[in-house]
Amino acid sequence: MKLSSVQMDAMQELGNIGAAHAATTLSQLLSSTVEMSVPKIMTVDIAQLADHIGDESAALVVFELQGEIPHGGYIIFYISRKSAVHLTNTMLGLTDPDRPLSEMDESALIEVGNIMASAFLDAAAELLGFVMIPSPPALTIDMAHAAMQSLIAQMQEEINEVMLFSTELFCEEHKIDSDIIMMPETSTLKMFVERLDNLMKPI
């Protein structure tokens, strides 16, 4: 679906609020400053997905959007393999940046993803006025493109394009670079836009 520039601005603001809450929780978790980029809204043709997400190894904590919309799409906490080790090292009090990831790291990553996705969705839901909750998490540490492709293949609606809302969250002190990505179903996106259009109407 095509968004007008006003709708794009509104969606960007939605991403901004969600990501800001996620950044705050990450900052508290790490007791360190976390900065965020301007949220990006990308309409990506599935044939060109590889231009945006490569086959590098990364950790992805994935949640389905649930609540008032039963299968609303996905929210994904994306972190490169390298940053994932930096993150769990900081959380677990370890120092070796080249160690392999263990089960404990996996639990820590899932926990961080959980907290961030919940913060993002809570904030977004408050603005939109409907309940959005994350499903139980699924973690994969594998080729990023393969993970995203698998999610796109199992979306409810048959699509040739996906809309990605992506915000980069980074922590200089601990050299952690991550993204929080929302990939809504078209029907969810329509609902978002409808609600946001209503919010901007004069009384």
Partner 1 sequence: MSEPISHNKMPVMIGIGEYHVGSVPMMAIGLGSCIGLAIYDRDRRIGAMVHIMLPESSGRTDRPGKYADTAVPLLLNTLSNMGCHKSSLVVKMAGGACMFEYFGNNLNIGERNAEKVRAVLAENQIRISAEEVGGKSGRTVAFYPEDDGKVTVRSADGAAHEI
Q: Which residues bind partner 1 (CB under 8 A)?
A: 45-50, 53-55, 57, 62, 64, 135-136, 138, 140-154, 158, 160
Q: Which of 15, 73, 70, 6 is nearest to 42 (CA)?
A: 15
Q: Which of 112, 120, 63, 66 is nearest to 89 (CA)?
A: 112
CB 138 within 8 A of CB 41: no
Minimum separation from the CB atom of position 118 to partner 1 (A): 17
Minimum separation from the CB atom of position 48 to partner 1 (A): 6
Minimum separation from the CB atom of position 35 to partner 1 (A): 28
| Crossing angle for the helix pair 5-30 and 103-128, to the nearest 10 degrees | 140
Of residues 17 and 101, the one with the C-beta less far from partner 1? 101
Of residues 45 and 197, the one with the C-beta less far from partner 1? 45
Minimum separation from the CB atom of position 67 to partner 1 (A): 16
Of residues 124 and 141, the one with the C-beta less far from partner 1? 141
Which helix (H) or strand (E) covers residue 127, if one does?
Answer: helix 103-128
Minimum separation from the CB atom of position 146 to partner 1 (A): 3
Of residues 123 and 144, the one with the C-beta less far from partner 1? 144
Of residues 26 and 109, the one with the C-beta less far from partner 1? 109
Q: Which of 131, 148, 136, 133 is nearest to 183 (CA)?
A: 148
CA 177 – CA 200 distance, rounded (Å): 34
Of residues 112 and 144, the one with the C-beta less far from partner 1? 144
Minimum separation from the CB atom of position 62 to partner 1 (A): 7
DSSP per position, 138-193: EEEEEEHHHHHHHHHHT-SS--SEEEEEEEEEEETTTTEEEEEEEEE-HHHHHHHH
User: In the structure encoding, which two tokens stand for residue 185, read together?
Assistant: 């179903």
